[in-house]
């Protein structure tokens, strides 16, 4: 009997490794290996056709030396930070307000939830084309609606000032995922807390600021982290809707990286860009985790 | 007072729903308009006359059948790969006890935070060396090595199953692999449905992957064909909206068919915090 148990333990260890093997191999081939290659290439000049030429930190210096590449680097970083700092909080606010509205117990709740979520399942390419049409300065419905109220709408995607706000508008419209996560967070708050608060005579607003909001902070924290990571990597919209323009106003970080890698075949410089992005995302995430202790409450 | 409040909530819910749904409705409306109707000020919501031919024209231009076939092939392979590989890895992480498990699981979770841009260039170089550029392989082979997000999702689901199932089977002499295939797999069908639906959506929508690896027109996926259509031709909004509607339709249908699974999946992705 003891032997059998020992064999079972042994078998489980072997089986454990074998079953995990696909991912272990995948991790080595598609993640760890490429990261090593990427780091190596980032110290080289490499255009795919000629063998890599070692140039030390040159690729990294190019980002900061004030030359033409450096200008595009800072511009693209600014555009990306703009989308993150303004876009993410705004999108999360819309998501939270939508979730609060959906959380009110009324008949037909599921139907409304579906309506709120539909924009988020429109494929990115189709969605980009759709918004190019909605935001068309002349025949777009948005400017026609604004015109109805006597407001002359801007040229949106054709304007260096309004191109990014236009894309933020799109993001806010597609806030379904954080909205559903907020909704789940709201539904996880025990009803007894609200009942107790009502007995104590707390108003609706007081209940929101003293119960809902504090207990929702872990959810807000999660959505914030994911929102920032995703927005730092924004690409498709800038590629399809504006091709980075006008005047590089939608040249986002990953778009700049893509152009360098796959249009100009500067694989070394593109890899260096990728590593700097990785470091930025890592630092931003760590700072958030660090500061989360001050405002994220896991209980009241 | 209570009645009035709930009436107010309804009005608000309907208004917000209209805001959310309107752009999609407008896409379909535009797709059925004739050219003069498109530039009409003020515009009509309901097209009259309805021009169905926009759909035929658009689908011919982007070679819809070929693009759909390519996309379905990539999507199908990814679904098979993810269901087989992610589930067996999840099984190992959730239900087998072995040394190094926690460490590897931690590494896996941390890769979820890794920007795709970091591996985008070197992966391209690897696939290029293998001669896989302008084939579908770079777009589906990785799925057979499991995807961290789905592994995580399936593991969470497997953790909710009682351990007594495994123990009973083990006493009856069932091997670890037998438990995975005969006991766990049938029990996690709902979670596998979530994985299949998410995989379908991801690859039906994927743009960057095909953009990097597929440059020959006969290999274009729907997303890529649609984008090329937009950039190559003079802007024809009715046809662009027709093709966009067709691309959106299967996703909407899938969402309505499996809404419960879909929402569960999105919510589960948020529970790890």
pLDDT of the residue at A2: 61
**A114 contacts on B by Cβ (under 8 Å):** 256, 259
The closest of A34, A12, A102 to B117, measured between CA atoms, is: A34
In a domain, A55, yes or no: no
Q: Give yes or no for B208 touching A (CB within 8 A).
A: yes
Do residues A82 and A164 make contact, with C-beta atoms less than 8 angstroms apart? yes
Do residues B42 and A144 make contact, with C-beta atoms less than 8 angstroms apart? yes
The answer to whether residues A29 and A117 belong to one domain is no
CA distance A200 to chain B (A): 21
* pLDDT for B92 beyond 70: yes
The answer to whether residues A249 and A188 belong to one domain is yes
pLDDT (mean) for B64-85: 95
The answer to whether residues A146 and A221 belong to one domain is yes
Provide the residue count of chain B.
Answer: 273
pLDDT (mean) for A123-141: 92
pLDDT (mean) for A109-127: 92
The closest of A133, A200, A118 to B24, measured between CA atoms, is: A118
The answer to whether residues A98 and A16 belong to one domain is no
Q: Is the dihedral of CA A31, B117, B262, B242 positive or negative?
A: negative
In a domain, A209, yes or no: yes
Supply the range of the domain harboring residue A200.
72-295
Place of tokens 């799925």: B143
Q: What average pLDDT does chain B have?
A: 90
The answer to whether residues A118 and A78 belong to one domain is yes
Instruction: Give the whole-number percent of chain B exceeding pLDDT 90.
Output: 63
Question: Which token pair is A228?
Answer: 């920032």
The closest of A202, A26, A174, A29 to A94, measured between CA atoms, is: A174
pLDDT tens-digit series, residues A49-104: 899 999 999 999 999 998 899 999 999 999 999 999 999 999 999 999 999 999 98
The larger pLDDT score, comparing residue B3 to residue A124, is at A124
Domain total for chain A?
Answer: 2
B63-269 belongs to CATH 1.10.3720.10: yes
The answer to whether residues A22 and A135 belong to one domain is no
Nearest-CB residue to A34 (from B122, B177, B212): B122
pLDDT tens-digit series, residues B154-204: 998 899 899 888 888 888 888 889 999 999 999 999 899 989 999 999 999
The answer to whether residues A203 and A91 belong to one domain is yes
pLDDT (mean) for B34-61: 87
Element (H, E) at A45: strand A44-45
pLDDT (mean) for A155-169: 95
Do residues B148 and B111 make contact, with C-beta atoms less than 8 angstroms apart? yes
Question: B189 exposed, middle or buried (CB, 10 Å; 0-12, 13-18, 19+)?
Answer: exposed
Max mean pLDDT range (A152-156, A210-214, B88-92): B88-92
pLDDT tens-digit series, residues B221-230: 999 999 988 8
Q: Is the dihedral of CA B104, B93, B189, A118 positive or negative?
A: negative
Do residues A6 and A230 make contact, with C-beta atoms less than 8 angstroms apart? no
**B36 contacts on A by Cβ (under 8 Å):** none
The answer to whether residues A120 and A252 belong to one domain is yes
In a domain, A56, yes or no: no
The answer to whether residues A180 and A244 belong to one domain is yes
pLDDT of the residue at B43: 84
- At residue A32 the predicted structure's pLDDT band, cuts being 50, 70 and 90, is very high
A44 DSSP β-pair partners = A54
* DSSP 3-state of A64: helix
The answer to whether residues A151 and A20 belong to one domain is no
CATH number of the structural domain spanning residue A180: 1.10.3720.10
* pLDDT for B1 beyond 70: no
Q: Please tell me which residue of chain A has the smallest CA distance to B244.
A: A126
The larger pLDDT score, comparing residue B234 to residue B214, is at B214
Q: Give yes or no for B162 touching A (CB within 8 A).
A: no
In a domain, A232, yes or no: yes
Nearest-CB residue to B23 (from A41, A136, A173): A173
The answer to whether residues A245 and A134 belong to one domain is yes
- The domain locations on chain B are 1-51, 63-269
Assembly ipTM: 0.90
pLDDT of the residue at B212: 96
The answer to whether residues A26 and A78 belong to one domain is no
pLDDT of the residue at A4: 67
Please judge whether A19 and B176 are an interchain contact, meaning their C-beta atoms are less than 8 angstroms apart.
Answer: yes
Q: Give yes or no for B111 touching A (CB within 8 A).
A: yes
Nearest-CB residue to A35 (from B104, B119, B251): B119
The closest of B78, B137, B205 to A240, measured between CA atoms, is: B205
Nearest-CB residue to A126 (from B146, B226, B237): B226
Q: Give the contacts of A36 (CB within 8 A, at least 6 positions apart).
A: none
The closest of A47, A40, A44 to A264, measured between CA atoms, is: A47
pLDDT (mean) for A135-140: 88
- CA end-to-end distance (rounded Å), chain A: 51
pLDDT (mean) for B93-106: 92
The answer, yes or no, to whether the previous bond of B129 is cis (omega within 30 of 0) is: no
Question: Which token pair is B123?
Answer: 């992966």
pLDDT of the residue at B271: 58
- CA end-to-end distance (rounded Å), chain B: 40
């Amino acid at each position: 009997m003891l032997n059998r148990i020992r064999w079972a333990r042994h078998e489980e260890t072997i089986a454990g490794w074998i079953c995990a093997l696909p991912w272990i191999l995948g991790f080595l081939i598609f993640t760890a290996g490429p990261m090593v290659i990427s780091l190596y290439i980032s110290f080289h000049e490499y255009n795919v056709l000629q063998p890599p030429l070692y140039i030390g930190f040159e690729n990294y210096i190019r980002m900061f030396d004030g030359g033409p590449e450096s200008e595009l680097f800072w511009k693209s970083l600014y555009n990306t930070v703009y989308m993150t700092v303004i876009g993410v909080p705004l999108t999360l606010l819309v998501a939270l307000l939508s979730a609060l509205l959906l959380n009110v117990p009324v008949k037909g709740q599921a139907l409304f939830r579906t309506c709120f979520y539909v924009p988020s399942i429109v494929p990115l390419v189709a969605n980009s084309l759709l918004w190019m049409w909605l935001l068309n300065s002349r025949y777009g419905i948005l400017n026609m609606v604004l015109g109805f109220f006597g407001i002359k709408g801007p040229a949106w995607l054709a304007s260096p000032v309004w191109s990014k706000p236009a894309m933020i508008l799109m993001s806010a419209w597609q806030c379904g995922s954080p909205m559903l996560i907020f909704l789940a967070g709201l539904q996880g708050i025990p009803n007894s807390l609200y009942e107790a608060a009502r007995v104590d005579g707390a108003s609706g607003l007081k209940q929101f600021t003293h119960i809902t909001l504090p207990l929702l902070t872990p959810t807000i924290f999660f959505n914030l982290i994911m929102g920032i990571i995703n927005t730092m990597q924004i690409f498709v919209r800038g590629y399809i809707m504006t091709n980075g323009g006008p005047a590089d106003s939608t040249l986002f970080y990953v778009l700049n990286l893509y152009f360098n890698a796959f249009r100009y075949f500067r694989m070394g410089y593109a890899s260096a860009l990728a590593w700097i992005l990785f470091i930025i995302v890592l630092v931003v995430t760590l700072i958030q985790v660090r500061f989360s202790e001050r405002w994220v409450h896991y209980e009241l | 007072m209570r009645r009035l409040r709930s009436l107010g909530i309804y009005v608000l819910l309907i208004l917000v729903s209209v805001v959310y749904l309107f752009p999609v409705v407008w896409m379909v409306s535009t797709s059925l308009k004739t050219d003069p109707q498109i530039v009409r000020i003020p515009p009509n919501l309901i097209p009259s006359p309805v021009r169905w031919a926009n759909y035929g024209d658009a689908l011919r231009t982007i070679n819809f059948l070929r693009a759909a076939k390519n996309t379905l092939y990539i999507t199908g392979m990814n679904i098979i790969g993810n269901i087989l590989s992610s589930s067996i890895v999840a099984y190992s992480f959730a239900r087998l006890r072995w040394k190094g498990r926690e460490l590897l699981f931690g590494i896996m979770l941390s890769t979820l935070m890794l920007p795709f841009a970091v591996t985008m260039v070197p992966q391209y170089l690897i696939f290029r060396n293998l001669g896989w550029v302008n084939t579908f392989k770079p777009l589906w082979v990785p799925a057979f090595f499991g995807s961290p997000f789905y592994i995580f999702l399936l593991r969470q689901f497997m953790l909710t199953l009682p351990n007594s199932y495994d123990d009973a089977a083990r006493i009856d002499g069932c091997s670890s692999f037998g438990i995975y295939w005969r006991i766990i797999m049938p029990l996690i069908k709902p979670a596998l449905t979530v994985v299949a639906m998410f995989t379908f959506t991801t690859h039906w929508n994927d743009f960057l992957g095909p953009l990097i690896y597929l440059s020959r027109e006969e290999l274009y996926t729907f997303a890529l064909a649609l984008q090329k259509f937009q950039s190559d031709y003079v802007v024809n909004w009715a046809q662009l909206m027709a093709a966009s509607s067709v691309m959106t339709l299967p996703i909407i249908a899938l969402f309505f068919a499996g809404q419960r699974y879909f929402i569960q999946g999105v919510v589960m992705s948020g529970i790890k915090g």
